[in-house]
């Protein structure tokens, strides 16, 4: 263990909340409880903001894989703060293969992406072809976060509908994408459900999530129930 890891681990255990650890571990079946410290996300984000300015930060980013769930989350939060787009993408591509759970994957929202949407789209298309569960999930999530409003194109739901992956956490993200797309781009997206373009399980999950949305009208929900 290098000096950066030693420093980080010491600080993380100082922030440990055992009750939170017990609760949070039940939400992530892919992560062994022994590798969860139990640090609340707001505290970890605050620590990441300060730690990114320290002399240990670069050494920590260069150290992969990490042992603990919170170390991975810290790594993710530090990537979020990278202001150089190309460097951010490079660090993401180095880190994503080590992500082993949905929570670490879903909490990464790099700020620089909003200023580089054309380039980001090219990178997303690469992620969507990945065989890695969380790299693929991250790609779908970024397409959902950045390209369902003014930057929407009918090409994008087609790309997601063509994903064929049996992993639960991929299918759940695809369902989440289509449920969100129904709320924002209903007319463009409803044909994918009408024509059964998704596998049966993902289709059902997408409809269920859409029915839970307050952004979809009651009449549209009534039609979705027939599907």
The pLDDT tens digits for 80-130 are 999 999 999 999 999 999 999 999 999 999 999 999 999 999 999 999 999
**What does the pLDDT read at residue 53?**
87
**Residue 133 contacts residue 166 (beta carbons within 8 Å):** no
**DSSP letter string, 4-37:** HHHHHHHHHHHT--HHHHHHHHTT-TTS-GGG--
> In the CATH scheme, what is the code of domain 118-227?
1.25.40.290
**What does the pLDDT read at residue 56?**
83
**What does the pLDDT read at residue 150?**
87
> With DSSP H G I counted as helix, E B as strand and the rest as coil, what are the percentages for the chain, rounded to 5?
70, 0, 30
**What does the pLDDT read at residue 99?**
97
**Residue 56 contacts residue 8 (beta carbons within 8 Å):** yes
The residue ranking higher by pLDDT, 72 or 58, is 72
Q: What is the DSSP letter of 140?
A: H
pTM for the predicted model, two decimal places: 0.94
* 69 pLDDT higher than 90: yes
Q: Which residues contact 205 (CB under 8 A, 6 or more apart)?
A: 171, 172, 175
The pLDDT tens digits for 169-193 are 999 999 999 999 999 999 999 999 9
**What does the pLDDT read at residue 116?**
97
**Per-domain residue ranges of the chain:** 1-115, 118-227
The pLDDT tens digits for 14-67 are 999 999 999 989 999 999 999 999 999 999 999 999 998 888 888 999 999 999
**Residue 128 contacts residue 139 (beta carbons within 8 Å):** yes
* 2 pLDDT higher than 80: no
The pLDDT tens digits for 133-155 are 999 999 999 999 999 998 999 99
Q: Phi, psi (5° rounding) for residue 152?
A: -70, 145
Helix locations, 162-217, DSSP H = 168-184, 186-194, 200-211
**What does the pLDDT read at residue 54?**
86
Q: Annotate 30-63 with b (16+ C-beta within 10 A) or e (fewer).
A: ebeeebbbbbeeeebeebbeebbeeebbeebbeb
């Amino acid at each position: 263990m290098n000096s950066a890891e030693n420093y980080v681990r010491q600080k993380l255990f100082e922030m440990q909340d055992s009750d939170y650890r017990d609760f949070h571990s039940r939400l992530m079946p892919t992560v062994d409880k022994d590798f969860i410290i139990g640090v609340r996300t707001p505290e970890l984000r605050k620590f990441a903001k300060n730690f990114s300015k320290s002399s240990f930060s670069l050494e920590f980013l260069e150290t992969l894989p990490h042992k603990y769930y919170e170390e991975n989350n810290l790594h993710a939060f530090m990537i979020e703060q990278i202001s150089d787009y190309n460097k951010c993408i490079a660090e993401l591509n180095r880190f994503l293969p080590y992500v082993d759970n949905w929570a670490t994957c879903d909490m990464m929202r790099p700020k620089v992406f909003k200023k580089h949407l054309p380039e980001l789209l090219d990178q997303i298309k690469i992620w969507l072809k990945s065989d890695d569960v969380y790299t693929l999930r991250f790609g779908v999530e970024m397409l959902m976060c950045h390209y369902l409003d003014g930057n929407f194109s009918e090409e994008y739901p087609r790309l997601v509908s063509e994903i064929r992956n049996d992993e639960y956490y991929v299918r759940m993200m695809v369902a989440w994408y289509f449920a969100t797309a129904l709320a924002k781009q209903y007319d463009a997206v409803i044909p994918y459900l009408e024509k059964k373009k998704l596998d049966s399980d993902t289709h059902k999950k997408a409809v269920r999530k859409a029915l839970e949305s307050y952004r979809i009208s009651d009449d549209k929900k009534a039609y979705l129930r027939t599907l």
